[in-house]
Amino acid sequence: MKRLWFLFAQVVTVLLAAYFVVGTLKPQWLGQATSSLGTVSIFEAPVPELGTTAVGSFSAAVKRAAPAVVSINTSKTSRHPAANDPWFRFFFGDQGEQQQTGLGSGVIMSPQGYVLTNNHVVEGADEIEVVLTDARRAPAAVIGTDPESDLAVLKIDLDKLPVIVLGSSDHVQVGDRVLAIGNPFGVGQTVTSGIVSALGRNQLGINTFENFIQTDAAINPGNSGGALVDIDGNLMGINTAIYSRSGGSMGIGFAIPVSTAKQVMESIVKNGQVVRGWIGVEPGELTPELAQTFGANVQQGVIVTGVLNGGPASQAGIRPGDVITQVNEKPVRTVSELLSRIAALPPGEPSAFTLQRRGEEVQASVTPVQRPRPRQQPVR
């Protein structure tokens, strides 16, 4: 019996010694690796096979959306304002014409070659070139622009174009994961990730009609006109602006919702310009003090501070001091929301407005006209 125990102990000792030697010299044989400290064993994950997607990866969304996001190169010729002044030419010589270039991004919206971008990307450009991710290049023609929303529609003549899939920005929520795709600083197509930080951002002084999606996905110069997509690769918005003190990303970027962008693009393609409704009122934010002054027993709405004589609102009986609470049964809470609601109304078709007037609910039927081109301070 003692011989058997002695033999067993020797076998165990030999096996432990062999395990120690193999674990030190050839750890991969045991499926583990030793850290640089020599005291902690780290189990290596198996190498994924080609074609598989790591857990939490956004590669599928990028593969779906990225081919439809393009780079936009612009150029324009400019002369110094005083180039024709003889004294300027005497001191500085003939400056001649100078070429200015710009960079931006765009999104292919249809197989027919319509590309959506920001108006400020192509504004004033003499030549516009669109560069696809497959290295194809094509000159672009401007179909129409809309400075009030900072959007522009271009058209290129190429076949077999990749097209973005439109999502629903009306259902996006704060906290949703999003990806920003564009060409920042001209380094080439770049993808950044983040979340939706806020919705309905307005009063930023960027556009006339502001209803931005705010995101912390890194957006930098050159990203303008690029795509903001969800984790499935569906278009949620057009990246437009950043809040920055340094010129680079500080975690606050803004995108135009795809619902607005789609409406603008369809109007430009159909009419050559954006056709918006207009009723001729000057709106103001409703404060508790104003509500008490005008006897409005509502907590939300937009107060009418001015009405254009002879305008659609005046003809419908809307007066200063009225509080607009609904447009076509859709609630109105802010001035920007009211402007968007009115702009979406088709000119020439009556629309239902719900008002609060001295504590009483009033219904008004307003027939909007086409919004005039903006001047310095237009009546909305």
Identify the active-site residue in 146, 150, 216, 230: 150
Q: 241 Cβ partners below 8 Å, 6+ apart?
A: 204, 206, 212, 224, 253, 254
**Which segments of the chain belong to CATH 2.30.42.10?**
277-370
Q: Is 126 a catalytic residue?
A: no
Q: Is 176 a catalytic residue?
A: no
If we measure between CA atoms, which residue out of 187, 172, 197, 366 comes closest to residue 281? 366
Contact 120, 86 (CB under 8 A): no
**Which segments of the chain belong to CATH 2.40.10.10?**
62-79+96-155, 168-270
* Residue 354 DSSP SS3: strand
Which class in CATH covers the domain with range 62-79+96-155?
mainly beta
Q: 377 Cβ partners below 8 Å, 6+ apart?
A: none
Identify the active-site residue in 120, 169, 230, 259: 120
Identify the active-site residue in 197, 224, 249, 336: 224
Token representation of residue 79: 């002369």
Contact 118, 152 (CB under 8 A): yes
pLDDT given at position 6: 66
- The superfamily (CATH) of domain 168-270 is Trypsin-like serine proteases (2.40.10.10)
pLDDT tens for the chain, 380 residues: list them: 666 666 666 766 767 666 666 566 555 555 544 444 344 434 444 555 555 566 678 899 999 999 999 999 998 876 556 556 665 555 555 555 566 677 899 999 999 999 999 999 998 888 999 999 999 999 999 999 998 889 999 999 999 999 999 998 878 899 999 999 999 888 889 999 999 999 878 767 677 777 889 999 988 888 899 999 999 999 999 998 877 666 666 778 899 999 889 989 998 998 888 888 999 999 988 888 888 787 777 878 999 989 999 999 999 999 999 999 999 988 988 887 888 889 889 899 999 999 988 888 899 999 999 988 665 433 33
- State the DSSP code for 184: G
Contact 77, 98 (CB under 8 A): yes
pLDDT given at position 241: 82
Fold designation for 277-370: Pdz3 Domain (2.30.42)
Q: Is 120 a catalytic residue?
A: yes
If we measure between CA atoms, which residue out of 362, 363, 289, 340 comes closest to residue 148? 340
Contact 71, 136 (CB under 8 A): no
- Rounded Cα distance between 224 and 215, Å, is 14
- Kind plus residue range of the DSSP H or E element containing 133: none
